[in-house]
Amino acid sequence: MATKQQKKQPVLPDVSHGMDLLNRPGLNKGTAFTEEERSKYSLYGLLPPHVETLDEQVGRAYEAYKRKDDDLERHIYLRALQDTNEVLFYRLLLDHIEEMTPMVYTPVVAQACQQFSHIYRRPRGLFISYPLRDSIPALLRNRPNPQVDVIVVTDGGRILGIGDQGAGGLGIPIGKLSLYTLIGGIRPERTLPIILDVGTNNAERLKDPEYLGWRHERITGQAYFDFVDQFVQAVKQELPQTCLQWEDFATPHARPILKRYRDELLTFNDDIQGTAAVALGAVLGAVKVTGKSLKDQQIVMLGAGSAGIGVADGLRAAMVGEGLSEQEARSHFWVVDIDGLLHSGRKDLTPEQSVYAQSEERVSGWPRTAHGHIGLADVIGKIEATILIGLSTVGGAFTEAIVREMARKVQRPIIFPLSNPTIKSEAKADDLIPWTDGRALVATGSPFAPVSYGGKKIPIAQCNNVFIFPAMGLAVVASGASRVTDAMLLAAARALAENSPALKDSSASMLPALTDVRRVAAEIAVAVGLAAQKDGVAPKTTENELRQRVVATQWTPAYP
Ligand code: NAI
């Protein structure tokens, strides 16, 4: 029976008892409820008699996990555990972070989105469907927990590499928020996954009798943007301090949405801004390894789409930060798209692309194709490229001849084939290392196994957004930021670069190990918080105070 002491200090918030308590994943401790708690919360008889420690529970859960024989089953098991006992779920994940991160997030979450309606078990997050557009504030008020630090919202329009998944896209915010908690330490009950269910154009989903979303083709045009606006206005009203992260919106929606709202509330788009920050962090880390500075680099970029231009914009801002003028910084970029080098003679460039157009005089007399294009091989032949980045979706575009020519002129070529999935990677890591006699500093978009060369195993860093977004979440919560500015993203990239293992050992990975990513997230959060203060979007503190807040904010899974 409960003692006097426990009556004064309840072990758990005195809100539920018996089965009600066991059914609440945020409070449930399962077999780890102590004798006192079992008595206080009327749990006797509902649990087996042996009281377990969290470690013992983790051991048992891992054994059950190991019995699953395919990745989707592993995902389903982990999601079920998350919906049963969150502390246990996160401790299990933390103890097996390298093994399990791919199960809750990319790549396995893609399958979970495709199969969402078939593997659906219990509600998590909010479904905001177009037919309910006039009651969005009420839907938000119906959220499971009143306090929310981070929302991840998608419309399921462009999920990873698998396109339109309609309401099944909710799997992505759920998976992503798990990593906000696991790595950034955002408290699980203060995260909120949301799907804006505007229909789907995926014929397979529409004809699937088990599809759980709104069975309608996608809403488009002004009606779509009006709906998004109704949602944003409701978030501003109901949850004005909450960070709203946009996820996997199709490019024609993603950019206008970000542009419209980024100065209105605490918001960012991870596909655009997070991706650029990770790539930038990896490039800055690689440049540090070469012992040179960014402003000494000649950067060749294959691909001038949203990803390529986003990364180039980040690098350009970093160059200006190192003291170059805007014009000088631009002249360091050689951007090549499907129609060749961007130059001032081209009439097909968007305003974002025109920034990187080299002057026609500078390239006059360069070799051209029959169509008048200047190709990648010719750019590499003409200049002393130190950095080569691929965001073109063209598998194998970094040919042996191109790579060898680049490596002939620089001691440590920085080569980042970043396109996804593996088949679209501009080069394979196991080719780049021998083609450059082991000198290339390589990071990729898709995962590659370590490459054996010269008696060593060279680890290949994968540019994964997981290095940035959980840290951004931690940063804005701990610092009390009200906006996400460019300087904050640049600070995140710089802090990531400073934590590159390759700085200590030049044959080590360019990016931190997942086992170290929580510590790195805290370092990034401090840097981002300071940048927020400098930009006047967070209250001033000393660095030490900010660091203490970051440490206090980063939740660790343990029973109260
Ligand atoms: P996009 O379709 O907007 O842009 C593709 C660009 O590549 C265009 O500028 C196009 O002209 C160019 N291109 C296509 N074929 C070409 C050719 N034969 N030669 C030269 N240029 C060519 O695509 P987006 O969204 O910019 O993504 C590009 C790639 O980057 C995708 O594979 C995507 O998965 C990957 N990506 C990787 C990320 C990472 O962190 N590793 C993050 C975001 C995107």
* Residue whose entry in the numeric block shows the structure tokens 């996400």: 484
Q: Which residues of 446-471 are buried (b: 16+ CB within 10 A; e: fewer)?
A: bebeebeeeeeebbbbbbbbbbbbbb
pLDDT of residue 439: 95
pLDDT of residue 14: 54
User: For residue 419, how far is its CA from the centre of ligand 1 (angstroms)?
Assistant: 6
SS3 annotation, 422-472: HHHCCCCHHHHHHHCCCCCEEEECCCCCCEEECCEEECCEECCHHHCHHHH
DSSP states of 86-155:
HHHHHHHHHHTHHHHHHHHSTTHHHHHHHTHHHH--S--SEEEEGGGGGGHHHHHHT-SSS--SEEEEE-
pLDDT, average across residues 112-136: 97
pLDDT class of 1 with cuts at 50, 70, 90:
very low
Q: Which residues sit opposite 461 in a β-bridge?
A: 443
Whether the predicted pLDDT of 125 surpasses 80: yes
pLDDT, average across residues 150-178: 95
How far is 38 from 240, CA to CA, in rounded Å?
39
Write the residue with the smallest CA distance to atom 15 of ligand 1: 338
DSSP states of 262-316:
TTTSSEEEIIIIIHHHHHHHHHHHHHHHHT--GGG--EEEE--SHHHHHHHHHHH
In 3D space, the residue among 206, 223, 204, 225 whose CA is nearest the CA of residue 214 turns out to be 206
**Residues with beta carbon inside 6 Å of ligand 1?**
275, 278-279, 302-308, 336-338, 391-394, 418-420, 424, 445, 463
Enter the tokens of residue 114.
Answer: 């495709």
Whether the predicted pLDDT of 252 surpasses 60: yes
* Residue whose entry in the numeric block shows the structure tokens 């709104």: 214
Average model confidence (pLDDT) for the chain? Answer: 95
Write the residue with the smallest CA distance to atom 42 of ligand 1: 275
Phi–psi pair at 204, nearest 5 degrees: -65, -40
Write the residue with the smallest CA distance to atom 19 of ligand 1: 338
User: For residue 216, how far is its CA from the centre of ligand 1 (angstroms)?
Assistant: 30
User: For residue 313, how far is its CA from the centre of ligand 1 (angstroms)?
Assistant: 15
Enter the tokens of residue 46.
Answer: 């509902």
Whether the predicted pLDDT of 506 surpasses 90: no
Residue 308 Cα: closest atom of ligand 1: 26
Whether the predicted pLDDT of 524 surpasses 80: yes
Phi–psi pair at 462, nearest 5 degrees: -105, 125
User: For residue 364, how far is its CA from the centre of ligand 1 (angstroms)?
Assistant: 27
pLDDT of residue 13: 53
Most confident of 11-25, 234-248, 302-316: 234-248
pLDDT of residue 5: 39
507 vs 266, higher pLDDT: 266
pLDDT tens digit sequence for 358-373? 999 999 999 999 899 9
CA angle 71, 202, 172 (to 5 degrees): 40
Percentage above 70 pLDDT, the chain? 97
**Distance between start and end Cα atoms, the chain:** 19
Catalytic residue numbers, as ranges: 105, 176
Whether the predicted pLDDT of 76 surpasses 80: yes
Write the residue with the smallest CA distance to atom 36 of ligand 1: 419
